[in-house]
Chains A and B, each alone.
Chain A
């Protein structure tokens, strides 16, 4: 009996977090000219550990819809503000070049995750066919 979840490993969660990180970085780049905008990012390692349930992160139980969540984060990992390398006059902390590099890096790693998932699926198909 094949356990699909175990066969795919961490890659589905990784893909989800990569796409959410792409969103956060795209938001930083979109707000590159917005005064007082604070660039944000997430600690991918901590977020993945949280998503897999292997980290030491915790969440508060919400027994009512009116309870406040612990904070806005991705997969249980909190979104953190970036420390600016250069101060800007309008208090914006987006470094466009650095954010673009991170976005490209993140996109590439997403593609790698997709490649892994692809080979997992083709392995499954091979097992089903049995030839």
Chain B
């Protein structure tokens, strides 16, 4: 039944967007986590969204599988942007030259990401709500 699959598709989007919100929260929380070496410095994380194609659909399977494809998080990548190197000789984590390494989190970008993720989340909640109404209406068929 396709309308139940709408729930699955919207649910997969909710899961993916909440992971995106999660990484944004993590990036924002660690935006100023200083470190004394390049290796141990936090790097901004971002999820990679992928379409969750069913194997059956790829081989020309039935339409039910092909029509509704959800979204999945293929993986989480760390940003390759250069780290910030601040001169703070008084910092307890400063190296011999007086520098600390700061994460490569772009706070403005993260805020934009957060808003985009929460809007997408809302959209999918509304899709779920609408399909729930459609299903309820179908169940009430011929009951009046």
Task: Kindly list chain B residues whose C-beta atoms are within 8 Å of the C-beta of A16.
Answer: 2
* Cross-chain contact A34 with B3 (CB below 8 angstroms): no
Residue numbers in A under 8 Å from B17 (CB-CB) = 33
Interface size class of B (residues with CB under 8 A): 35 or more
Q: Is B130 an interface residue (CB 8 A)?
A: yes
- Residues B66 and A20 in contact, CB atoms below 8 Å apart: no
Q: Check if B141 sits within 8 Å of A118, measured CB to CB.
A: yes
Question: A121 contacts B2, CB within 8 Å?
Answer: no
Nearest CB on A from B38, distance (A): 29
A16 to B59, CA, bound (A): 24
Instruction: Name, among B61, B133, B137, the residue most crowded by chain A CB atoms within 10 Å (CB to CB).
Output: B137
Most buried by A among B2, B67, B126, B142: B67
A10 within 8 A of B: no
- CB contact under 8 A between A72 and B2, given known A30-B13, A34-B50, A79-B66: no
| Other-chain residue from B12, B68, B120 in contact with A33 (beta carbon distance below 8 A) | B120
When distances are taken between beta carbons in the complex, the residues of chain B under 8 Å from A24 are 67-68
A23 at the interface (CB under 8 A from B): yes
Within 8 A of B (CB), among A20-47: 20, 22-24, 26-27, 29-35, 37
For residue A52, CB closer than 8 A to chain B, the reply is no
Given A26-B127, A117-B141, A121-B142, A32:B63 Cβ within 8 A: no
Give 30 CB contacts A-B under 8 Å.
A16-B2, A20-B64, A20-B67, A22-B3, A22-B6, A22-B134, A26-B68, A26-B127, A29-B10, A29-B123, A30-B9, A30-B13, A32-B123, A34-B50, A34-B51, A68-B59, A68-B60, A69-B60, A72-B61, A72-B63, A74-B63, A74-B67, A79-B66, A96-B120, A96-B123, A100-B123, A103-B127, A107-B131, A117-B141, A117-B142
- List the 4 closest A-B pairs by CB distance, nearest first: A72-B66, A30-B13, A23-B68, A121-B142
Query: What is the interface of chain A, defined by CB distance below 8 A to chain B?
Result: 15-16, 19-20, 22-24, 26-27, 29-35, 37, 68-69, 71-75, 79, 96, 100, 103-104, 107, 110-111, 114, 117-118, 121-122, 125
Contacts from B to A (Cβ < 8 Å): 1-3, 5-6, 9-10, 12-13, 16-17, 20, 48-51, 57, 59-61, 63-64, 66-71, 116-117, 120, 123-124, 126-127, 130-131, 133-134, 137-138, 141-142, 144
